[in-house]
Amino acid sequence: MAEEYLGGSGGVWPADKPQEECGIFGIYGAGLDVARITYYGLYALQHRGQESAGIAVGDGERIQLIKDMGLVSDVFNHEKLSSFQGHLAVGHVRYSTTGSSHPVNAQPLVFRYARGMIGLAHNGNIANITELRSHLASTGAVFQSSTDSEVIVNLIARYSQNGLADAIHKCMVDIKGGYAILLLTEKSLIGVRDPFGIRPLCLGRKGDAHILASESCALDTVGAELVRDVEPGEIIIIDENGVNSRKPVQAGRRAHCIFEYIYFARPDSRMDGFSVSKVRREMGRQLAREYPVEADLVIPVPDSGTTAARGFAEQSGIPFEEGLMKNRYIGRTFIQPTQSIRDLGVRLKLNPVRDVLNGKRVVVVDDSIVRGTTSGKIVNMLREFGAREVHFCLSSPPVKKSCYYGIDTSNEEELIAAHKSLAEIKDFIGADGLHYLSLEGLLGVFGESRDNFCTACFSGDYPVAIPKPYEAGKYVLE
């Protein structure tokens, strides 16, 4: 069973959320400390992955790499950052969606090939990875890791006879899935976004320097401005000649991951034309329209439910309160394999406020439920601390299908909404009321752009062909 880090830095319990993807950051800027800027950019993207971190730096002649397991603050210090010399860099924070959490799978991956050195940082998942890797292996390819990212490097190397841009184009034709990729050569930084735009990538500028990042919050952190989102199917090439764009592959429709807005992205990010914070608040408002309830308080499950809870409170007129306090200073701990100790995991992270809750009818707003285990513990805690009624509201529809494009939503048989009715889930978590935001209500938040999103985890409408069951799963390459 997958496990979830508490707050990104400590403690684990069985995950009741879709797990993070990865975060990528790249910069091309002469005269700048690109390693240190990348370090701060990765700090801003730490929410997207806490398993490993790495930075690769190019100086025109070679690529240096430092990567290891752990958080950005665990992997880098002043001495390591000062050892980097160069004018372009890429960085990566990882949550594994293909391949185990192991040092050999940490990124960026750096290789030598016929034209020199190349580094790769990848966010996403390749749906046809088993087929591609089997073909490459049968023709002599050797793999050092169990990630789908290494297959991308192999394909690019094989297609490089006519230059890197042509190789990337051919690679994009072969690979199917959701991806945002940063490539680093000794002299250039390249960004690639999948033809459907499933995984996010944006372009920024800091003076004369150019930056590519998963989210605009990373640009804000390093003092850069958002120029625009990278278009679906676009290749951005940044070198001594400036920024050049190519769009060799187009899908005919957009399918941005809607869970970026529900849960993954930081609220202060802008993504494909939308403010994440404003979208989440409107999700909460729509939730209140769909689920009118008599209650005394609206409380969020922090931090992922906070913005939607404010929207719910504004629309319903029910007062917003902080009824659950989050402990943000938990060190990493090993949880003993006994249920009584596992149950303490939620209490380590969240503590109810008795004076707020006692005798009250409470609406709890969160973003999603995967297994229902943590939600049930939260409901039980609220009752223990005096809540008279607990109504659980989610700012997303029921998660019924697995994701194959870069989110670890667990196997379908572990998804509670895939095999239980709304009434059964309500009873399972022990709530007095349970309501999910409807898919129609969710899409309505985006107005005329409502058809530009991937909703496969709710509807089963996959924009890219998914792997056969025996070819799917996090550890399929191991």
Q: Enumerate the active-site residues.
A: 22
- H or E element, residue 183: strand 177-184
End-to-end CA distance of the chain: 17
What is the C-alpha separation between 193 and 230, in angstroms, rounded?
7
The amino acid occupying position 398 is P
Give CA 100 to chain center in angstroms.
Answer: 17
Cα–Cα distance for residue pair 358/384, rounded to 1 Å: 9
Flag whether 257 is marked binding.
yes
Q: Closest by alpha carbon to 410, among 472, 367, 344?
A: 472
**Is 259 exposed, middle or buried, given 0-12, 13-18 or 19+ CB atoms closer than 10 A?**
buried
Could you give the CA distance from residue 219 to residue 212 in angstroms, rounded to a whole number?
Answer: 9
The answer to whether 375 and 429 have CB atoms below 8 angstroms apart is: yes
Residue 403 annotated as lining a ligand binding site: yes
Q: Is 457 labelled a binding residue?
A: yes
Q: Say how far residue 300 (Cα) sits from the centre of its chain.
A: 21
Kindly give, in sequence order, each residue whose CB lies less than 8 Å from that of residue 172, ignoring residues fewer than 6 positions away: 192, 194, 195, 233, 235, 248, 249
202 annotated among ligand-binding-site residues: no
- Determine the Cα–Cα distance for residues 91 and 24; give it in Å rounded to an integer: 6
Do 210 and 29 touch, CB atoms closer than 8 A?
A: yes
Classify 17 as helix, strand or coil.
coil
304 is in an annotated binding site: yes
d(CA 441, CA 436): 10
Is 214 within any annotated ligand binding site? Answer: no
* Nearest of 198, 94, 139, 200 to residue 474 by alpha carbon: 94
> Phi-psi bin for 375: left (phi > 0), alpha (psi -120 to 50), beta?
alpha
Bridge-based pairing state of the strands 389-394 and 361-366: parallel
Q: In which order are the strands placed within the sheet that holds 189-193?
A: 109-113, 116-126, 177-184, 189-193, 235-239, 242-246
Q: Are 57 and 64 in contact (CB under 8 A)?
A: yes
Check whether 367 is labelled as a binding-site residue: yes
Measured in whole angstroms, how far is the alpha carbon of residue 218 from the centre of its chain?
Answer: 14
Crossing angle of helices 129-138 and 148-158, rounded to 10°: 50
φ, ψ of residue 37 to 5 degrees: the values are -65, -40
Residues tagged in the binding site annotation: 257, 304, 366-367, 403, 454, 457
Residues tagged in the binding site annotation for [4Fe-4S] cluster: 257, 403, 454, 457
Residues tagged in the binding site annotation for Mg(2+): 304, 366-367
